[in-house]
Structure 1
C-alpha cells in the first residue's frame, strides 16, 4: 500500500460518523444538482421506454459520478484555487475561456429548462399561471442566493435530496421487481435509435456533468477545505454521490421499470404518465406525490445550477467567488433573473430535461480531460495522481465520450437541417478537438 493510500485510509477512518455527517457539504450541493428533475426524467424515461435494459448505465452513473467528483475535489484541495484560475495559469487564457464557454452553455440551457419545470409544476399544483411563477421563482432565487450565498444553498440541498431519496425508496418497497430481467439489464447495451442513445446519455449525464465537475473546486473553497481535509472530502463524495445519489437513481429507475416497463415511448412521457409509477404506493394521490417530489428536486437543482456560471465567470475575471464581492452577487442575481425566460420555452418539459443532460454530457469529456491534465501537472499540484486514479480518469473520459458520441451520431443521422441538431454537432466537434488538444499537450510535455 502506497504512502498516499495509507494517508487516505487513516484520514477516512478518523472521527465519529455523526461528526462527519455534520461536517459534510460541498458534494451534497453537487448531489442536489445531480438528483434533479432532469435526472429524474431520464431515469423514468429509461425505465418506462426500455424496461431494465439500461440498468447498467444507472449503476455505472453512480460509480463514475463519484469518481468524477473525487477527481474534481482532489484538484480543489491540492490547488486551493478555482479550476478556471488554474487552467489559465497552466494552460493559458484561451483554454480558460473555452472551459467557461462550455460550462455557461450547458448550465445556461439547463437553467432555462429547469425553470420551466419549476414554473410548470408550481402552476399544476396551485393553478396560478406558470409565467407568474417563473418571475416569482427567479426573484426568490436572486434575493436568496445573492443575500445568503453558499450556506443556504448547502442546507437546502441536504434536506431536499434526503427527502426525495426517502420518497422513492418507499415506492420501491411496494413495486414488484423482476430479478431475471433486472440481471439482464446489467449487460451493457444501448437500445437502437435516437431515443436509446439520448436516454442513455441523459442517465449518465445526470451524474457526470460538466457543471458538477467544474463547480466542485469552488464549493470546496467556499467550505474553506484544504489538503488537510482530504479524508473528510473523500467521505463527502462517497456519501453523497455513490450512496445517496446511487440509491436515489436505482429507486427511481426500478420503480419505473417495474410499473411502466416498455409502455411509453421516450418522447411521449409526461409528468402525469410518470406519476403512475407511484400508483402502487399512493393510489389516487400518486400524481400529487410525484409532482411534489419533482418540485423539490427541481428547486434544489435550480439553486445549485444558478451558482455555476457566476463561479467560473467571476474566477476568470479575477473577482472573488463569494457574496462579499458585489460583482459576484450581481452575476448571481442576473443568472437567476435570466432563468425566468425558461417559462417561454416551448414543448413538454420531460423530454427537454433529458435533452439537457445529453447536451451537457457532450461537453463533459473536455472538462474531465482538463482536470486529469492538471492533476498530473507538477506545477499545478504538489502530489500528482496515482496510476489507479489516472486509470479511473481515463475510463471516465472514455465512457462519457462514447455515450456522448453515440448520442451526437444518432441525432445527426437525420441531417443537420434542424438548428438544434446543427448546434449540438458543432458543439461536439469543437470540444472533441479541444479534448484531443489537451491530450496532445500532456503527451508533448511528458519527460522522455
Structure 2
C-alpha cells in the first residue's frame, strides 16, 4: 500500500471504529482487570484478542459489502424467517444486557468524578444518547466513536507511561497458560473483541456508508486501523498497567478499586487518568451499542435502517431512553460487566457460524480466501471453547447455588448451542447444492 492509498484510507475509514468503540468499553476494562489479577499470566490472551476481533470484522465486512444488505435480510433470504428471528433474539438479548450494565458503569463513574447520583446521571446520559443518535443517526455515532476511541487510547497509553510494566515478567505471559479460576476472565477478554453485536452491526455499517464489493479493500484497512491498532493498544496498555501494579494482589475486582490501588504507587494523576479513560470508554461503547438492536429489528420488520425512516429513528430513541434503567442497577459493576461479556461470548459462535455459512454457500466471488476461512474457523473454535468453559463453570455454580442470572445464562447457552450445531449440520447437508437452488426453511 503506497502513501496515497494510506492517506485515502485514513480519510475514508469509519465503520470499524464503531465496532472498535463497542469493543473498547468498560466491559473489556472489567475483564482486563480480572485477568490482571493473575499477574502477566494472561498476556497471551490479551494479545490474541485484537487479531481475533480483526478476523471477525473482515468476515462481517465481506458479507456486508458483497451482499449489499444487512445480515438479517441475508439470513432470511438464504435460510428463512425462523433463523432470522433467532439471530435477532440472540443479538438483542446480548446487546440490551450490555446496554444496561454499561449505562450503570457510566453513571457510577460520572457520579464519582462529578457528583450527583448514579440515577440522575443515567437519565442525563440516556437523553444525550437519544437526542444525539436519533437526531444525527449513524454519522454522529461514527464520528463520535473515532474521536472518543482515539482519546481513550491516548489516555491509557499515557497511564502506561506513568506506570511502566516489568518487561521480564511480561515475557513470561506470552506462554499460553490457564490459571485456575481464570475462565471468566479469558472469555471476557476474547468476548470483548469477538462479539455477536460487532459481527452483526458491521454488516449494517457497510450499508450506512454504501460500501460494496469494490470497497472491501478499504474495509480491511478500516478494520486494521480500528481493531488491530487502536483496540490492540487499548487492551494491552490497560492490562500492563493493572497487571504490573496489582497483579497477584487481593484487590477487589472493581475498576474504581483498581484505580484507587494505583494511588500509593503512582499518585493521583494515574488514578484520574484511569477513571477518565473508563468514562470515555463507556461513552464510546454506549454510542455504538445503542444502534445495534434498532439495526436488526428494523431490518427484520422491513423498515429503513437510517434516521430518514421515522420508525427506525423511534427505535433508536427508545433504545437510548430504556438504557436509563441501568442507573438503578446495584452491585459491583466489573464482575457484572464480565458476566455480560460471557453471555455475549455464548451468543457469538452462532453469529460467526452464520457469517461463515452465508459466505461459503454464496457466489464464488463472495467466498473468502482459504487463509481468511481458516482464520475464521480458528476464531470460532477459540471463542466456542472459551464460552464452553465459562458455561461449565456456571453449571458447577448452579449445583451449589441456583441464581436466576446463572440459570438464564445456561438456558441461553443451550439454545444457541443447539442452533449452532444444527447450522453446522445444515451446511454439511447442503454444501454440494447450488446456492441459487437453496430453499428457505
The interval holding the TM-score normalised by the smaller chain is: over 0.9
Map 1:31-180 onto structure 2 (within 5 A): 31-47=20-36, 49-180=37-168
Q: Within 5 Å, which residues of 2 pair with 1:394-433?
A: 394-415=377-398, 417-433=402-418
Shift in alpha-carbon separation, 1:277–1:17, aligned structure 2, 3 A = farther
Which residue matches 2:215?
A: 229
Q: Does 1:311 align with 2:311?
A: no
Distance 1:290 1:100, change over 3 A: same
Q: CA deviation at 1:277?
A: 6.7
Q: Deviations over 1:267-295 (max 9, x none)?
A: x2223322147548962233332221111
Which of residues 361, 371, 381 is equivalent to 2:355?
Answer: 371
Correspondences of 1:327-366 after superposition (within 5 Å) = 327-366=311-350
Gaps of 5+ in 2: 434-441
Query: What is the deviation of 1:170?
Result: 1.8
Question: Of 214, 236, 239, which residue of structure 1 is paired with 2:225?
Answer: 239
- Deviation (angstroms), 1:158: 0.7
Displacement of 1:173 in angstroms is 2.3
Residue matched to 1:393? 376
Q: Report the Cα distance in structure 1 between the residues aligned to 2:377 and 2:106, rounded to whole angstroms.
A: 36
Cα deviations across residues 145-170 of structure 1 (Å, max 9, x unaligned)? 00100111111111111111111112
Q: When the two structures are superposed, what TM-score results if normalisation uses the length of structure 1? A: 0.93
Residue 21 of structure 1 is aligned with which of 7, 10, 14?
A: 10
Q: What is the deviation of 1:378? A: 2.4
Measure, in 1, the Cα distance between the counterparts of 2:285 and 2:398. Answer: 33
Map of 1:285 onto structure 2: 269
Residue 306 of structure 1: how far off its partner (Å): 0.4
Q: Secondary structure at the match of 1:413?
A: helix
Aligned pairs (5 A) from 1:207-226: 207-226=193-212
SS at match of 1:384: coil
Deviations 1:40-69 (A, max 9, x none): 12112211x111111111011011000000
Instruction: Tell me how far apart the structure 2 counterparts of residues 210 and 301 of structure 1 sit (CA, whole Å).
Output: 14
Counterpart in 2 of 1:444?
429
Cα distance 1:250–1:372, how it changes in 2: closer, same or farther (>3 A)? Answer: same
Structure-1 separation of matches of 2:423 and 2:311: 31
Paired residue total: 431
Which residue number corresponds to residue 297 of structure 1?
281
Q: Give the conservation status (yes or no) of the 8 Å contact 2:43–2:173.
A: yes
SS in 2 for 1:50: coil
- 1:259-278 correspondence to structure 2 within 5 Å: 259-264=245-250, 268-276=252-260
SS of residue in 2 equivalent to 1:319: coil
Q: TM-score, normalised by structure 2?
A: 0.94
For 2:280 and 2:366, how far apart are their aligned partners in 1?
40
My pick for the range that moved more, 71-80 or 119-128, is: 119-128
- Select which of 160, 178, 197 maps to 1:190: 178
Q: Which runs of 4+ in 1 moved over 3 A?
A: 12-16, 276-282
Deviates more, 1:268-277 or 1:184-193: 268-277
- Offset of residue 177 of structure 1: 2.4
Looking at structure 2, the residues matched to 264 and 97 of structure 1 have their Cα atoms a distance apart, in angstroms, of 44
Deviation per CA, 1:69-99: give whole Å up to 9, x if none: 0100011010000000000000111100000
